[in-house]
């Protein structure tokens, strides 16, 4: 019998992530939080590495009869504080390192708003605009079946993310329910209301961004009424954030962009008209709006450097970088997207006195209402829209205040405070559970 006397060499799950990549940023932010906490090396090593990773092949039959094979991922970063939780994105740039970074952000996001969840993320490397509805459905069903061994209402619960939504979650839940032989509502959140989705889930991330922006402005002594706002990204998050800030808090949304166009009007955009346009336009894009000259069409990069009171990056990661951070002229940045600011850019913004509400607080509204959806599904007892809104508001405001107070006590910026609070919660859960076996 061979007895293994020497530990095999440690192979890190991720080789060094690419410089400037989202994983590099997430790990650098994590390390600086661990440094602030003087965290034990063993705990740091546990938190730096995802618990479990899966790469799957996703073959689908195309409408023309041929077969295409896509690559999908699901990464469970941590289950220390509860079932792993996090969205699924469809994007041509999805890769394992991006999914690892996003899974880690989910762990920290759930911890900072104190939800009883860990963190996970999934994705498929695909440009969904190039697939028909039927192809997208087959892709979703095959991907769901392939990652099924990891999923479960007590293990890992997906939700929508970039380029996925209610319809995606309905297909995913149906696929799993067919394979299990009974309806499994609690397997995913962000579902249509008729299938056990929650009131208020579709607006939740954008509403949370608006709440976080207003909470920040008020603490800086500024009344949101009449303040100018620029929003990068006019998908689910950007649309709700812009509309709620304008309609409920009197902000003036002066610029909006998506992959197809960027609109600017210093007197304020007609949000109702823009929203109606994207609802009916091909691919739900801004392209084709304002051809009568009612707005200026600017470059997407120029939206980020407009002189506005509030800038909301609500598109994808790595938008504010060392290249443009010196040119940002917004007073406050509220991160609707995950990881829109690189580690290097963050330091520049801090030096320049620009206040950043970090992603794990600013966009936590989505996962907060996902938590409510999961609770409602488990109890088969559903809440009204007012109840959901009230609970979202109080959960997010409480978390914001905790981070704000912690930042004040420790002399931290908001991002450092949020990360330190979150890492501390995750680390103490790991420590109190102890190492199995």
**Active site residues per annotation:** 121
* Residue 85 engages ligand GLU in binding (rule: CB under 6 A): yes
- Measured from the CB atom, the residue of 33 and 103 that comes closer to ligand GLU is 103
* Residue 363 engages ligand GLU in binding (rule: CB under 6 A): yes
- Measured from the CB atom, the residue of 163 and 416 that comes closer to ligand GLU is 163
- Measured from the CB atom, the residue of 261 and 373 that comes closer to ligand GLU is 373
What are the residue ranges of helices labelled H in 149-296?
A: 166-180, 201-219, 236-249, 271-280
In angstroms, give the least distance from the CB of 84 to ligand GLU.
9
* Residue 106 near residue 366, CB atoms below 8 Å: no
- 38 φψ region: left (φ > 0), alpha (ψ -120 to 50), beta (else): left
Mapping DSSP to helix (H, G, I), strand (E, B) and coil, where does residue 422 land? helix
- In this chain, which of 86, 123, 208, 336 binds ligand GLU, going by CB under 6 A? 86
- Burial group, residue 350, by CB count within 10 angstroms (0-12, 13-18, 19+): middle
The tokens describing 359, both together, are 């992603």
* Interface stretch with ligand GLU, choices 48-56, 90-98, 220-228, 360-368 (CB under 6 A): 360-368
- Measured from the CB atom, the residue of 170 and 254 that comes closer to ligand GLU is 170
- 252 φψ region: left (φ > 0), alpha (ψ -120 to 50), beta (else): beta
Quick one: how far is CA 372 from the chain centroid?
Answer: 17
- List binders of ligand GLU among 366-395 (CB under 6 A): 366-367, 370
In angstroms, give the least distance from the CB of 428 to ligand GLU.
23
* Residue 78 engages ligand GLU in binding (rule: CB under 6 A): no
In angstroms, give the least distance from the CB of 105 to ligand GLU.
7
How far is Cα 103 from Cα 108, in angstroms, rounded to an integer? 9
- List binders of ligand GLU among 112-171 (CB under 6 A): 159, 161
How far is Cα 211 from Cα 196, in angstroms, rounded to an integer? 26
* Interface stretch with ligand GLU, choices 9-17, 81-89, 280-288, 303-311 (CB under 6 A): 81-89
- In this chain, which of 168, 175, 189, 257 binds ligand GLU, going by CB under 6 A? 189
How far is Cα 286 from Cα 378, in angstroms, rounded to an integer? 39
- The footprint of ligand GLU (CB under 6 A) covers 85-87, 109, 159, 161, 189, 338, 363, 366-367, 370
């Amino acid at each position: 019998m061979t007895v293994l006397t020497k530990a095999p060499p440690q192979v890190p799950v991720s080789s060094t992530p690419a410089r400037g990549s989202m994983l590099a940023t997430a790990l650098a932010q994590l390390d600086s939080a661990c440094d602030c906490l003087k965290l034990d090396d063993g705990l740091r090593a546990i938190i730096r590495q995802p618990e479990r990773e899966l790469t799957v092949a996703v073959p689908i039959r195309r409408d023309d009869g041929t077969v295409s094979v896509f690559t999908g991922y699901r990464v469970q970063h941590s289950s220390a504080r509860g079932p792993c939780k996090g969205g699924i994105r469809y994007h041509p740039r999805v890769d394992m390192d991006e999914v690892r970074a996003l899974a880690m952000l989910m762990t920290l996001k759930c911890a900072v708003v104190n939800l009883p969840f860990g963190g996970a993320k999934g994705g498929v490397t695909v440009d969904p605009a190039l697939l028909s509805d039927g192809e997208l459905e087959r892709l979703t069903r095959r991907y769901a079946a392939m990652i099924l061994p990891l999923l479960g209402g007590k293990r890992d619960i997906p939700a929508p993310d970039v380029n996925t939504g209610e319809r995606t979650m309905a297909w995913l839940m149906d696929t799993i329910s067919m394979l299990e032989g009974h309806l499994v509502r609690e397997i995913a959140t962000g579902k249509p209301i008729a299938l056990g989705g929650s009131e208020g889930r579709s607006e939740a991330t954008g509403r949370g961004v608006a709440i976080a922006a207003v909470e920040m402005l008020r603490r800086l002594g500024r009344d949101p009424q009449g303040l100018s706002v620029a929003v990068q990204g006019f998908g689910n998050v950007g649309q709700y954030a812009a509309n709620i800030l304008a309609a409920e808090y009197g902000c003036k949304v002066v610029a909006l962009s998506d992959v197809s166009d960027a609109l600017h009007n210093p007197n304020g955009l007609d949000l109702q008209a823009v929203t109606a346009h994207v609802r009916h336009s091909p691919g739900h894009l801004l392209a084709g709006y304002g051809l009568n000259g009612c707005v200026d069409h600017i470059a997407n990069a120029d939206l980020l450097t407009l002189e506005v009171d509030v800038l909301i990056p609500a598109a994808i990661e790595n938008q504010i970088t060392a290249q443009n951070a010196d040119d940002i002229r917004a007073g406050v940045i509220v991160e609707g997207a995950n990881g829109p600011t690189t580690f290097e850019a963050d330091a520049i913004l801090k030096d320049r006195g620009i206040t950043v509400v970090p992603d794990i607080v600013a966009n936590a509204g989505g996962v907060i209402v996902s938590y409510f959806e999961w609770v409602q599904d488990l109890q088969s007892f559903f809440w009204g829209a007012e109840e959901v809104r009230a609970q979202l508001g109080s959960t997010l405001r409480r978390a914001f205040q905790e981070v704000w107070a912690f930042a004040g006590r420790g002399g931290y910026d908001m991002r450092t405070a949020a990360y330190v609070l979150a890492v501390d919660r995750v680390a103490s859960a790991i420590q109190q559970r102890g190492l199995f076996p």
